[in-house]
Amino acid sequence: MASLSEEVLLVVKKVRQRKQDGTLYLMAERIAWGPEGKDRFTVSHLYSDIRCQKISPDGKAKIQLQLVLHTGESTTFHFANDSSALKDRDAAKELLQQLLPKFKKKANKELEEKNRMLQEDPVLFQLYKDLVVSQVISAEEFWANRLGDLNNADPTVCNNKQEVGISGAFLADIRPQTDGCNGLRYNLTADIIESIFRTYPAVKQKYSENVPHNLTEKEFWTRFFQSHYFHRDRINTGTQDIFSECAKQDEKGLKSMVVQGVKNPLVDLLSLDDKSLDEGYGVCTPPSTSSSSRTVKESSNAAIIKRFNHHSAMVLAAGSRKGEAPTDQASETSSTDGNSRDSDFFQPPVKKVKLQEAIEYEDLQRGNGPKTVALNLKKSDRYAHGPVPLQSQHYTTSQDIINSVNYIRHEMANYKPNLTQVVSSTAASSAIAALSPGGVLMLGGAQQAINQMVPTEVQGELKHLYAAAEELLRHFWSCFPVNTPFLEEKVMKMKSNLERFQMTKLCPFQEKIQRQYLSTNLTGHLEEMLQTAYSKFHIWQTRRMMRKT
Amino acid sequence: MKLNIEGLLVYFPYDYIYPEQYSYMLELKRTLDAKGHGVLEMPSGTGKTISLLSLIVAYQKAFPLEVTKLIYCSRTVPEIEKVVEELRKLMEFYCKQTGESNNFLALALSSRKNLCIHPEVSALRFGKEVDGKCHSLTASYVRAQRHSDPNLPACRFFEEFDAVGRQVPLPAGIYNLDDLKDFGRRKGWCPYYLARYAILHANIVVYSYHYLLDPKIADMVSKELAKKSVVVFDEAHNIDNVCIDSMSVNITRRTLDRCQNNVETLQNTIHKIKETDASKLKEEYRRLVEGLKEANVARETDVYLANPVLPDEILQEAVPGTIRTAEHFVGFLKRFLEYLKSRLRVQHVVQESAPQFLKDIFDKVCIDRKPLRFCAERLQSLLRTLEIADVADFSPVTLISNFATLVSTYSQGFTIIIEPFEDRTPTIANPVLHFSCMDPSIAIKPVFQRFQSVVITSGTLSPLDIYPRILDFRPVTMASFTMTLARTCLCPLIVGRGNDQVALSSKFETREDFAVIRNYGNLLLEMSAIVPDGIVAFFTSYVYMENIVASWYEQGILENIQRNKLIFIETPDAAETSMALEKYQEACENGRGAILLSVARGKVSEGIDFVHHFGRAVIMFGVPYVYTQSRILKARLEYLRDQFQIRENDFLTFDAMRHAAQCVGRAIRGKTDYGLMIFADKRYARADKRGKLPRWIQEHISDGSLNLTVDETVQLSKHFLRQMAQPFRQEDQLGLSLLTLEQLESEEMLQKITQIAHQT
Q: Which residues of A touch B430 (CB under 8 A)?
A: 288, 290
More confident call, A383 vs B163: B163
To the nearest 5 percent, what fractions of chain B are helix, strand and coil? 55, 15, 30
How many angstroms away from the CA of A240 is the closest CA of chain B? Answer: 26
Helices B177-187 and B77-98: crossing angle in degrees, nearest 10, is 80
| Amino acid letter, B543 | V
Q: Which residues of B touch A348 (CB under 8 A)?
A: 178
State mean pLDDT over B119-123: 87
How many angstroms away from the CA of B210 is the closest CA of chain A? Answer: 7
| Amino acid letter, A96 | L
| Distance between CA atoms of residues B336 and B257, nearest Å | 13
Task: Give B94-138 as a 3 state SS string.
Answer: HHHHHCCCCCCEEEECCCHHHHCCCCCHHHCCCHHHHHHHHHHHH
pLDDT at A168: 75
Contact yes or no for A286 and B89 at CB 8 A:
no
User: Nearest CB to A269: which of B15, B586, B603?
Assistant: B603
High-pLDDT (> 90) share of chain B, %? 46
Instruction: For residue B74, give the chain A residue with the closest CA.
Output: A274
Task: Give B231-243 as a 3 state SS string.
Answer: EEECCHHHHHHHH
State mean pLDDT over B424-432: 81
Q: Is the link from the previous residue into B463 a cis peptide, with omega within 30 of 0? A: yes
Contact yes or no for B565 and A372 at CB 8 A:
no
Residue among B586, B529, B588 at smallest CA distance from B560: B529
| Distance between CA atoms of residues B44 and B739, nearest Å | 19
What are the Cα distances from residue B64, in Å, to B32, B83, B171, B207?
A: 13, 22, 19, 22
Half-sphere exposure (Cβ direction) of B87: Cα atoms closer than 13 Å: 27
Q: Which residues of B touch A261 (CB under 8 A)?
A: 575, 578-579
CB-based contact B570:B599 (threshold 8 Å): yes
Q: What is the pLDDT of residues A534-545, one digit of tens each?
A: 998 888 888 888
Residue A21 dihedral angles phi and psi, to the nearest 5°: -75, 150
Which has the minimum average pLDDT: A75-79, B106-110, B207-211, B489-493?
Answer: A75-79
| Distance between CA atoms of residues B222 and B206, nearest Å | 12
How many angstroms away from the CA of A311 is the closest CA of chain B? Answer: 9
| Distance between CA atoms of residues B730 and B737, nearest Å | 10
Instruction: For residue B670, give the chain A residue with the closest CA.
Output: A361
How many angstroms away from the CA of A400 is the closest CA of chain B? Answer: 19
Task: Please give the torsion angle defined by the CA atoms of residues B430, B433, B438 and B442, in that order, rounded to the nearest 10 degrees.
Answer: -140
Contact yes or no for A278 and B86 at CB 8 A:
no
Within 10 A of B253 (CB to CB), how many other CB atoms are there?
16
pTM of the complete model = 0.73
| Distance between CA atoms of residues B527 and B717, nearest Å | 8
User: Nearest CB to B123: which of A263, A340, A380?
Assistant: A340
CB-based contact B570:B604 (threshold 8 Å): yes
| Distance between CA atoms of residues B137 and B133, nearest Å | 7
Q: Name the pLDDT band for B333 (thresholds 50, 70, 90).
A: very high
What are the Cα distances from residue A272, in Å, to A268, B74, B79, B446, B610?
A: 6, 11, 9, 27, 16
Contact yes or no for A268 and B578 at CB 8 A:
yes
Contact yes or no for B78 and A282 at CB 8 A:
no
What mean pLDDT, rounded, does chain A reach? 74
The highest-confidence range among A89-103, B274-288, B386-400, B618-632, by mean pLDDT, is B618-632
Q: A126-130 — which CB contacts under 8 Å span 24+ positions?
A: A126/A464, A126/A467, A127/A467, A127/A468, A127/A471, A130/A464, A130/A465, A130/A467, A130/A468, A130/A505
Q: Give the SS3 label for residue A318.
A: helix
State mean pLDDT over B632-652: 91
Contact yes or no for B18 and A364 at CB 8 A:
yes
Residue A473 dihedral angles phi and psi, to the nearest 5°: -65, -35
Contact yes or no for B578 and A262 at CB 8 A:
yes
According to DSSP, the β-strands at B490-494 and B429-437 are unpaired
Contact yes or no for B672 and A233 at CB 8 A:
no
More confident call, A358 vs A231: A358
Suggest the residue from B48, B74, B77 to mutate for an interface test with chain A (most A CBs closer than 10 A): B77
pLDDT at A324: 41
Contact yes or no for A319 and B592 at CB 8 A:
yes
Q: What is the pLDDT of residues B511-527, one digit of tens each?
A: 889 999 999 999 999 99
Which has the minimum average pLDDT: A56-65, A336-345, B644-653, B702-711?
Answer: A336-345
CB-based contact B552:A287 (threshold 8 Å): no
More confident call, A347 vs B15: B15
pLDDT at A157: 43
| Distance between CA atoms of residues B222 and B233, nearest Å | 15
Helices (H), ranges, A478-523: 485-501, 507-515
According to DSSP, the β-strands at B534-539 and B617-621 are parallel
Which has the minimum average pLDDT: A32-46, B19-33, B640-654?
Answer: A32-46
| Amino acid letter, B398 | T
Half-sphere exposure (Cβ direction) of A266: Cα atoms closer than 13 Å: 20
Q: Give the SS3 label for residue B540.
A: coil
Which has the minimum average pLDDT: A381-395, B105-119, B125-139, B200-214?
Answer: A381-395
Helices A507-515 and A456-477: crossing angle in degrees, nearest 10, is 160
Residues in a beta bridge with B738: B734
A–B CB contacts, 8 A cutoff, strictly below: 257
More confident call, A307 vs B561: B561
pLDDT exceeds 50 at position B446 = yes
| Distance between CA atoms of residues B430 and B344, nearest Å | 9
Contact yes or no for A273 and B77 at CB 8 A:
yes
| Distance between CA atoms of residues B639 and B653, nearest Å | 17
How many angstroms away from the CA of B159 is the closest CA of chain A? Answer: 20
How many angstroms away from the CA of B211 is the closest CA of chain A? Answer: 9
pLDDT at B72: 95
Suggest the residue from A273, A299, A383 to mutate for an interface test with chain B (most B CBs closer than 10 A): A273
| Distance between CA atoms of residues A549 and B399, nearest Å | 118
Which has the minimum average pLDDT: A147-151, A376-380, B530-534?
Answer: A147-151
Which has the minimum average pLDDT: A350-354, A408-412, B17-21, B290-294?
Answer: B290-294
| Distance between CA atoms of residues A529 and A527, nearest Å | 5
| Distance between CA atoms of residues A196 and A198, nearest Å | 5
How many angstroms away from the CA of B447 is the closest CA of chain A? Answer: 19
Q: Name the pLDDT band for A5 (thresholds 50, 70, 90).
A: low
Q: B607-610 — which CB contacts under 8 Å span 24+ positions?
A: B607/A269, B607/A272, B607/B75, B607/B76, B607/B78, B607/B79, B608/A266, B608/A267, B608/A269, B608/B581, B608/B666, B609/A266, B609/A358, B609/B666, B609/B669, B610/B534, B610/B536, B610/B666, B610/B667, B610/B669, B610/B675
Burial class (CB in 10 A: 0-12, 13-18, 19+), A501: buried
State mean pLDDT over B467-490: 90
Contact yes or no for A274 and B77 at CB 8 A:
yes
Instruction: For residue B740, give the chain A residue with the closest CA.
Output: A364
How many angstroms away from the CA of A176 is the closest CA of chain B? Answer: 12
pLDDT at A115: 79
Helices B278-290 and B326-344: crossing angle in degrees, nearest 10, is 80
Residues in a beta bridge with B252: B432
What mean pLDDT, rounded, does chain B reach? 88
Helices B514-530 and B557-564: crossing angle in degrees, nearest 10, is 10
| Amino acid letter, B331 | G
Contact yes or no for B575 and A265 at CB 8 A:
no
Q: What is the pLDDT of residues A149-198, one digit of tens each?
A: 555 544 444 445 566 777 777 777 676 666 666 677 777 777 788 888 88
Q: What is the pLDDT of residues B352-381, one digit of tens each?
A: 999 999 999 999 999 988 889 888 888 888
Give the rounded distance of the alpha carbon of B553 from its chain centre.
35
Contact yes or no for A316 and B583 at CB 8 A:
yes
More confident call, B472 vs B127: B472
pLDDT at A348: 59
pLDDT exceeds 60 at position A328 = no
Q: Name the pLDDT band for B146 (thresholds 50, 70, 90).
A: confident
